[in-house]
């Protein structure tokens, strides 16, 4: 444990840009300490330098976070984070709280936990360059968003866009401002966000860069490389599914179009058949009435009434099989057929048109 204390004592400034990187290397490369016992021993020793105790605390948080040991992470944070309430730890405290609530959300699917994680993540970003020079806050926000995208109606499009901008900002600071070798996790995060936005071409490029930039000399390198290959497979699968969906949608639209055309043709055939059936019925009815009734007035009235009934039948047929008949057309047809029925009734009953003229046109 003495060696561990000596290693932790080398990095006591939580606001240093590389502070978390050094602590990650310490715990991931630690082959001599008893994990987590030796780290807890340092955290609980109130006689030791508080910054060294915080370093031990953050080492365990890094371990539990990376390997998603949620119960251990919750217990660690609940029992010890209040010890380190000084302003010097505020930036990393916000990082810790953001991950704490992210895992709480993943366990419970309560949206309020997600919103707390996002709030702490943005708070840490706002503290960059003032309370810390560590750029981990940018990818930390993206990590929260990406882990939450698995669940519907949780992550907003704004959160996704912000996460992508933050990752790009981290890449720029890391490579351009600090002139350091590319960090693979940034490119993996960017690839996932681009894939979610369905920008698959650039997403494939980013995940390929993530795989090529990944180091192989760290404890969790193989885990990350395996994760990157899984992400690459997910991107390819998502792109293929999108292509299949577009083809299915296109085929369905074509099918609906053809079905509509067939229905319209069927309606036209039905209307034509109905029209000729009406004409034939009128002809047959007229011949039958003429042959069987000698009185001209009665036969004329019956023919007119028959015509009105056939018009009504044809109109009903159109209404049943066509959705293009307007209300105005139906009203006009009803008035016309009603007039025919009245006229046929009057003529059939021998109404004297001359008397009508004498009475009302005098």
What pLDDT was estimated at residue 325? 64
Instruction: Return d(Cα 175, Cα 337) in angstroms, integer.
Output: 86
Rounded CA gap, 22 and 136, in Å?
A: 13
Residue 321 has pLDDT above 70, yes or no: no
Q: What is the pLDDT of residue 29?
A: 87
Please tell me the predicted confidence (pLDDT) of residue 327: 76
* CA–CA separation, 188 and 209 (whole Å): 8
Token pair of 28 as six digits: 């991931």
Q: What mean pLDDT do residues 72-83 have?
A: 97
The confidence score (pLDDT) of residue 285 equals 66
Give 265-316 pLDDT, tens digit per residue: 776 776 677 666 767 766 776 667 666 766 666 667 667 776 777 677 767 7
Confidence of residue 219 (pLDDT cuts 50, 70, 90): low
Q: Average of pLDDT values for 143-152?
A: 95
Distance from C-alpha of 227 to C-alpha of 63, rounded to nearest angstrom: 17
Residue of higher predicted confidence among 311 and 136: 136
In the beta sheet, which residues pair with residue 128? 132
For residue 359, the model assigns a pLDDT of 43
155-181 pLDDT tens trace: 999 999 999 999 999 999 999 999 999
Determine the 3-state secondary structure of 132 from DSSP: strand
Q: Is the pTM of the predicted complex or chain greater than 0.95? A: no
CB 99 within 8 A of CB 65: yes
pLDDT for res 252: 83
User: Which of these, 134, 146, 239, 242, lies nearest to 190 by C-alpha position?
Assistant: 146
Nearest-5° angle of CA 17, CA 20, CA 22?
95
CA pair distance 30, 28, nearest whole angstrom: 6
Minimum mean pLDDT among 110-124, 259-273, 348-362: which range?
A: 348-362
Other CB atoms within 10 A of residue 74 CB: 15
In the prediction, which pLDDT does 178 show?
94
Query: Per-domain residue ranges for the chain?
Result: 257-360
**What's residue 221's pLDDT?**
77
Gap between the Cα atoms of 98 and 116, Å rounded: 7
**Residue with the larger pLDDT of the pair 314 and 254:** 254
Instruction: Retrieve residue 107's tokens.
Output: 């366990």
Phi, psi of 132, deg, nearest 5 = -170, 150
Per the rule left: phi > 0, alpha: psi between -120 and 50, beta: everything else, 153 is: left
* pLDDT bucket at 205, cuts 50 / 70 / 90: very high
In the predicted structure, residue 54 carries a pLDDT above the cut 70: yes
């Amino acid at each position: 444990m003495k060696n561990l204390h000596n290693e932790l004592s080398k990095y006591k400034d939580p606001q240093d840009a590389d502070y978390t990187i050094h602590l990650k290397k310490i715990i991931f490369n630690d082959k001599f300490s008893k994990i987590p016992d030796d780290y807890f021993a340092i955290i609980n020793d109130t006689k030791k330098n508080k910054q060294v105790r915080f370093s031990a605390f953050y080492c365990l948080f890094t371990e539990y976070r990376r390997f998603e040991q949620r119960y251990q992470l919750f217990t660690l944070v609940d029992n010890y984070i209040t010890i380190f309430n000084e302003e010097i730890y505020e930036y990393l405290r916000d990082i810790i709280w953001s991950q704490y609530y992210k895992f709480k959300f993943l366990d419970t699917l309560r949206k309020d936990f997600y919103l707390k994680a996002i709030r702490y993540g943005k708070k840490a970003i706002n503290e960059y360059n003032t309370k810390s020079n560590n750029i981990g806050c940018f990818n930390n926000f993206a990590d929260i968003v990406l882990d939450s995208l698995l669940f519907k109606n949780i992550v907003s499009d704004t959160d996704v866009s912000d996460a992508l901008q933050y990752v790009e900002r981290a890449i720029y600071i890391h490579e351009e401002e600090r002139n350091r070798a590319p960090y693979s996790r940034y490119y993996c995060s960017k690839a996932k966000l681009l894939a979610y936005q369905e920008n698959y071409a650039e997403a494939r490029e980013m995940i390929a860069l993530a795989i090529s930039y990944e180091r192989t000399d760290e404890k969790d390198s193989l885990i990350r490389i395996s994760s990157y290959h899984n992400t690459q497979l997910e991107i390819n699968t998502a792109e293929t599914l999108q292509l299949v969906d577009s083809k299915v949608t296109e085929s369905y639209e074509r099918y609906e179009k053809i079905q509509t055309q067939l229905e319209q043709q069927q309606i036209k055939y039905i209307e034509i058949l109905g029209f000729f059936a009406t004409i034939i019925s009128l002809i047959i009815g007229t011949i039958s009435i003429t042959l069987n009734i000698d009185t001209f007035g009665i036969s004329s009235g019956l023919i007119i009434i028959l015509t009105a009934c056939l018009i009504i039948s044809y109109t009903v047929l159109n209404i049943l099989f066509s959705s293009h008949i307007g209300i105005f057309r139906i009203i006009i047809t009803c008035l016309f057929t009603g007039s025919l029925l009245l006229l046929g009734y009057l003529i059939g009953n021998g109404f004297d048109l001359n008397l009508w003229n004498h009475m009302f046109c005098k």
